[in-house]
């Protein structure tokens, strides 16, 4: 069975641009002709809303397919306002469900179970957005994913959360998903006008070398405004610095996946 290639955006620290990055990379892939699904595992449902989908309007969300995997993710998948871009919406009920799952065996594999249960998903890429702190849903996403990208705010304090993130990735790799691969680090919320911003980016370059994506995502207020409107910045202002940076990052992701000879993406991107 041919399933989409799964990429998760994760970081132990909240507010670092995970959701903004996940939706814009998904949107950029869809624009370049790659059928993409965004799977939202955050009870806040920010990615869902960012794509213009209101979780309260829906009868079935990701919560339902995690509870009962029969029928798979397809049961909850909805189209978005963007061509070739689909969404498995989150719902606030995910939050309560997490505590109810505390002692349930197999709770780390609910997403994988739903992924495997249904019909083949007709997408090439699946992009997964996870909650602010490392949670059971982050583990579920990492259990399923082929690769993980770590967005890091370009601020000295933000780097402190990276070891915790890597530790979780390592644990999941050893216990649940040996093929999980680190795709790289993405510098976000970069302010090149400040010395602290420039110094922090230099530290990231020294520390991570080629694992750091070439283009940092600048602070661009238009990104925050687009989120509030439930639109991608590509639609609102495709020439903005934020949109340009995300196009570039999506292209570099495709490049990195192609270099790893990931057939699924190479075929679509060529
Ligand atoms: N490059 C940027 N420029 C300006 N604002 C941004 C940028 N990236 C993200 N934001 C804004 O910063 C806030 C946090 O971003 P985002 O929601 O993407 O982070 P997150 O890591 O998903 O947060 P959480 O951990 O709460 O899920 C949002 O209001 C978003 O609109
Ligand atoms: Mg988020």
What is the domain-level CATH number for residue 116? 3.40.50.300
Alpha carbon of 225 to ligand 1 centroid (Å): 11
pLDDT at 1: 54
Q: Ligand 1 pocket by C-beta < 6 Å: which residues? A: 14-20, 42, 46, 132, 188-189, 217, 219-221, 223-224, 227, 242
Give bridge partners of residue 6 from the DSSP assignment: 126
- Closest C-alpha to ligand 1, atom 6: 224
- Closest C-alpha to ligand 1, atom 16: 17
- Reported as a single tens digit per residue, the pLDDT across 7-20 is 999 999 999 999 99
Answer whether 213's CB lies under 8 Å from 249's CB. Answer: yes
Query: Which atom of ligand 1 lies at the shortest distance from residue 228's CA?
Result: 31
pLDDT at 222: 98
Instruction: Give how many domains the chain has, as a whole number.
Output: 1
pLDDT at 63: 97
pLDDT at 165: 97
- Report d(CA 44, CA 37) in Å as an integer: 18
- Reported as a single tens digit per residue, the pLDDT across 194-228 is 999 999 999 999 999 999 999 999 999 999 999 99
pLDDT at 270: 44
pLDDT at 264: 57
- Report d(CA 43, CA 41) in Å as an integer: 6
The residue segments making up the domain with residue 244 are 5-269
Answer whether 24's CB lies under 8 Å from 176's CB. Answer: no
Place of tokens 């997408």: 123
Predicted TM-score (pTM) of the model is: 0.96
Spell out, as residue ranges, where the chain has pLDDT lower than 50. Answer: 269-270
Rounded to the nearest 5 percent, the helix, strand and coil shares of the chain are 50, 15, 35
């Amino acid at each position: 069975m041919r399933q989409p290639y799964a990429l998760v955006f994760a970081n132990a620290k909240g507010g670092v641009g995970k959701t903004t990055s996940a939706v814009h990379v998904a949107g950029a892939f869809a624009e370049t002709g790659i059928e993409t699904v965004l799977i939202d595992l955050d009870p806040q449902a920010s990615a869902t809303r960012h794509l213009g989908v209101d979780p309260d309007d829906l009868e079935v969300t990701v919560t339902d397919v995690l509870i009962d995997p029969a029928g798979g993710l397809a049961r909850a998948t909805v189209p978005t306002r963007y061509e070739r871009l689909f969404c498995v919406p989150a719902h606030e009920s995910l939050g309560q469900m997490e505590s109810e799952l505390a002692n349930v065996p197999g709770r780390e594999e609910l997403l994988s179970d739903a992924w495997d249960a249904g019909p083949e998903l007709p997408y090439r890429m699946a992009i997964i957005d996870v909650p602010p702190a490392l949670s059971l849903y982050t583990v579920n996403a990492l259990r399923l994913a082929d690769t993980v990208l770590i967005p890091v705010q370009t601020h000295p304090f933000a780097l402190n959360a990276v070891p915790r993130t890597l530790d979780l990735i390592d644990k999941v790799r050893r216990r649940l998903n040996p093929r999980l691969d680190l795709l790289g680090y993405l510098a976000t919320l970069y302010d090149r006008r400040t010395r602290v911003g420039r110094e922090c980016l230099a530290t990231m370059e020294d520390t991570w070398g080629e694992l750091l994506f070439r283009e940092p995502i600048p602070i661009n207020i238009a990104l925050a405004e687009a989120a509030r409107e439930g639109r991608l910045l590509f639609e609102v202002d495709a020439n903005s610095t934020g949109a340009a940076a995300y196009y570039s990052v999506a292209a570099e992701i495709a490049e990195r996946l192609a270099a790893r000879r990931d057939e699924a993406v190479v075929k679509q991107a060529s």
